[in-house]
Amino acid sequence: MQIEYLTKMKNTPKIGKWENKGISEQEIEKLEQKFNIQFPKAYKEFLFLGGEFDNCIDWETSAEYLNWRQENIQESMNSVNLNLKPFFAFANYERDQFLFFFLNGEENPPIYAYYEDKIEEDGKEVFYTKFRDSFSEYIDRCIESELKNS
């Protein structure tokens, strides 16, 4: 796979003792078929480089838990009458916070954070907020943070 957006991740396969372990393009296609969606290019690159294990995100991101993650966030959003679609949750922190992007055809979409308990933003209580302007920006910042801490 040609890496267009996640060059920093490609060029930083190991941080400290932690090394990225990706999944194949065929496995990525199977995931897309399973969820009946097409992932953004930047997320496909992430899966290809670190879909089994990534060295940069503190949140749980492995492809092994993707099904659980979609079910859990949907159940949580339904419980608070939040109807956001189509989206894909790619990471979770414990059981009450998720990172997701909208499936709107963007190759490098903005990242949003969802919180089961409302947070305050601009004087309003909200369940989700824009977290980063793009998927690649989020990954680059995670890598920079891990490099500083290693």
Q: What is the CATH number of the domain that holds 72?
A: 3.40.1580.10
Q: Do the domain assignments include residue 128?
A: yes
- Total tally of structural domains belonging to the chain: 1
Q: Over 90: is that where the pLDDT of 59 sits?
A: no
Q: Is 64 domain-assigned?
A: yes
Res 94: pLDDT: 66
1: in domain = no
Domain enclosing residue 109, as ranges:
19-149
pTM: 0.90
Within a domain: 131: yes
Judge contact between 99 and 113, C-beta under 8 A.
yes
What is the arithmetic mean of pLDDT over 1-17? 96
Q: How far is CA 70 from CA 56, 63, 76, 86, 144, in A?
A: 22, 11, 10, 11, 28
Whole-angstrom distance, CA of residue 32 vs CA of residue 37: 5
Is residue 70 situated within a structural domain?
A: yes
pLDDT in tens, 74-122: 988 888 888 888 999 998 876 678 999 999 999 999 999 998 887 777 8
Residue 14 lies in a domain: no
